[in-house]
Structure 1
Amino acid sequence: MAAKFVSLLVTMFVFASTLISSSNALSLNYYDQTCPNAETAIAEAVHKGMINDKTVPAALLRMHFHDCFIRGCDGSVLLNSTVKNQAEKDGPPNISLHAFYVIDNAKKQVEKMCPGVVSCADILALAARDAVSLSGGPNWNVPKGRKDGRISIANDSLQLPFPTFNISQLQQSFSQRGLSIDDLVALSGGHTLGFSHCSSFQNRIHNFNNKTDVDPSMDPSFASSLRQVCPMHNTVKNAGSFLDTSPTVFDNAYYKMLVQGKSIFSSDQALLTNSRTQALVQKYAASQPEFYEAFANSMVKMSSINGAGTEIRLDCRSINH
């Protein structure tokens, strides 16, 4: 198994090295001298979290994405609200984020070894990587050296791409953060992990438009099963659907379902409305190794979005005083 991905890992390392050479802020060996065992401690915290809760990997990957897309990767999504300020984690798209305790546990272990050295933003970036690799997905070298931000505003979370976005809106959202249309398709593959509440895809299965109740691009039997789980006037708390057929395994099932008309979000289906994105979807549906390589490369790129952090937080939930 390891030998199978040697060339893949080499490619990822070369890509990461190239990217980091153009940035003074991040480095693959940032903690080699100051906290050499940090990555091991973080991986152990993620693994322990996964043993108790199979939704932890999806939660950590989503948390990292939601962090980087607001103020850059500065750990601002980890901050708690205060009397004077409602923080990002309490903004509408982030209310369902969870597993913050895994980051807390990782931080506690790292602080025991190297007090005041490793940022919460770096811990989150590493934890997201571990969440993927421990779920059967690719591994990659994470550039480190992020600083933690002191600003977190709930309404800023409305800048996140919505599950109802079309391809133009998605392209614009990613482009504003220095991410390409190829990154969009690769990072959408993160939907191979996790679950969605009915509210995020209700628009596709009820009152789709004036002519039809259900999105015609959706497989009829699949749509019917979703309508049973999520009726028009749903009263079941936390009702919803897994995002693919193997929601705790990081694989390419998401793309296979997408080409079959069995995607959950409008933003997923949107990837089939552009010739470039459609070709990439079909490529990743046919080849899991090619998806792994693209995902790892795009994760390095996304996790390197510059944040305006200025400190190493001692507690990931609050700024230093």
Structure 2
Amino acid sequence: MSEIISLFSEKGFSVEEMVALTGAHTIGFSHCKEFADRIFNYSKTSEVDPTLNPVYAQGLRKLCENYTKSPEMSAFNDVFTPGKFDNMYFKNLQRGLGLLMSDQAMMTDNNTRPFVDLFAANQTAFFDAFARSIEKLSVYKVKGGKYGEVRRKCDQFNIVQT
């Protein structure tokens, strides 16, 4: 977590802003390969990451059992309200339902946990912090002219037709 905090800090973001931005994980999904190391052969002493809720971990293992044969297999980041932008993601972290290791680690870090707890308890506080943080992010090192473009799809470069 200290590494992630440092990366955000180098870009001028506070711990609160980092936690708030991570709340975007309340919508969307992650491919099984991104978290498989948490649910299969985690360590010599535990098959599953012990910070995961055991029932949740077993469900993920079942869902992802063939992920190496089917790389498109995925799970929602927020198992309860995957299509709704809300603070359930933070409540999930408190219950051991954080899909990604970096997300769940926010519960064990003394710098991030107070913000996880605040956002879990107070959706308005999360919305306010997220709005400020995403606005700050939206203008961070914006490239213009021939050095940048507004993408039509955020995960793909625009295709230039000639």
* Fold agreement, TM-score > 0.5: yes
Identify the match of residue 291 of structure 1 among 121, 126, 135.
Answer: 126
Q: Please report how far the alpha carbon of residue 268 of structure 1 lies from its aligned counterpart in structure 2 after TM superposition.
A: 0.4
Q: Does 1:228 align with 2:62?
A: yes
CA RMSD between the two structures: 2.4
Q: Does 1:204 align with 2:61?
A: no
Q: State the distance in 2 between where 1:286 and 1:209 align.
A: 33
Task: Work out whether residues 28 and 76 of structure 2, in 8 Å CA contact, stay in contact via their aligned partners in 1.
Answer: yes
More helix by share: 1
Q: Does 1:246 align with 2:81?
A: yes
Q: Does 1:218 align with 2:47?
A: no
Q: State the distance in 2 between where 1:243 and 1:313 align.
A: 29
Q: Which 5+ residue runs of structure 1 have no aligned equivalent?
A: 1-166
Call closer, same or farther: CA 1:313–1:277 in 2, change over 3 Å.
closer
| 1:276 partner SS | coil
Aligned twin of 1:301? 136
Aligned twin of 2:145? 310
Call closer, same or farther: CA 1:315–1:289 in 2, change over 3 Å.
closer
Call closer, same or farther: CA 1:314–1:251 in 2, change over 3 Å.
closer
Call closer, same or farther: CA 1:237–1:304 in 2, change over 3 Å.
same
Amino acid at match of 2:74: G
| 1:300 partner SS | helix
Task: Work out whether residues 67 and 73 of structure 2, in 8 Å CA contact, stay in contact via their aligned partners in 1.
Answer: no
Amino acid at match of 1:310: G
Identify the match of residue 255 of structure 1 among 71, 90, 94.
Answer: 90
Deviates more, 1:232-241 or 1:217-226: 232-241
Aligned twin of 1:277? 112
Q: State the distance in 1 between where 2:95 and 2:115 align.
A: 15
Q: Please report how far the alpha carbon of residue 168 of structure 1 lies from its aligned counterpart in structure 2 after TM superposition.
A: 1.7
Q: Please report how far the alpha carbon of residue 260 of structure 1 lies from its aligned counterpart in structure 2 after TM superposition.
A: 0.2
Task: Work out whether residues 27 and 82 of structure 2, in 8 Å CA contact, stay in contact via their aligned partners in 1.
Answer: yes
Q: State the distance in 2 between where 1:287 and 1:212 align.
A: 35
Q: State the distance in 1 between where 2:149 and 2:87 align.
A: 36
Task: Work out whether residues 185 and 277 of structure 1, in 8 Å CA contact, stay in contact via their aligned partners in 2.
Answer: yes
Call closer, same or farther: CA 1:306–1:248 in 2, change over 3 Å.
same
Task: Work out whether residues 219 and 260 of structure 1, in 8 Å CA contact, stay in contact via their aligned partners in 2.
Answer: yes
Q: Please report how far the alpha carbon of residue 234 of structure 1 lies from its aligned counterpart in structure 2 after TM superposition.
A: 3.8
Amino acid at match of 2:64: C
Call closer, same or farther: CA 1:237–1:172 in 2, change over 3 Å.
same
Q: Over residues 18-70 of structure 1, what are the superposed CA-to-partner deviations in whole Å (9 max), with x where a residue is unaligned?
A: xxxxxxxxxxxxxxxxxxxxxxxxxxxxxxxxxxxxxxxxxxxxxxxxxxxxx
| 2:145 partner SS | coil
Aligned twin of 2:23? 189
Task: Work out whether residues 192 and 249 of structure 1, in 8 Å CA contact, stay in contact via their aligned partners in 2.
Answer: yes
Q: Please report how far the alpha carbon of residue 307 of structure 1 lies from its aligned counterpart in structure 2 after TM superposition.
A: 2.7
| 1:207 partner SS | coil
Task: Work out whether residues 271 and 277 of structure 1, in 8 Å CA contact, stay in contact via their aligned partners in 2.
Answer: yes
| 2:111 partner SS | helix
Q: Please report how far the alpha carbon of residue 183 of structure 1 lies from its aligned counterpart in structure 2 after TM superposition.
A: 1.1
| 2:75 partner SS | strand
**Number of residue pairs the alignment of both structures matches:** 155
Task: Work out whether residues 39 and 49 of structure 2, in 8 Å CA contact, stay in contact via their aligned partners in 1.
Answer: yes
Q: Which 5+ residue runs of structure 2 have no aligned equivalent?
A: 153-157
Task: Work out whether residues 31 and 71 of structure 2, in 8 Å CA contact, stay in contact via their aligned partners in 1.
Answer: no
| 2:12 partner SS | coil
Q: State the distance in 2 between where 1:314 and 1:284 align.
A: 31
Moved over 4 A (4+): 311-316
Q: State the distance in 2 between where 1:204 and 1:313 align.
A: 37
* Structure with greater Cα Rg: 1
Q: State the distance in 1 between where 2:66 and 2:42 align.
A: 12
Q: State the distance in 2 between where 1:303 and 1:179 align.
A: 12
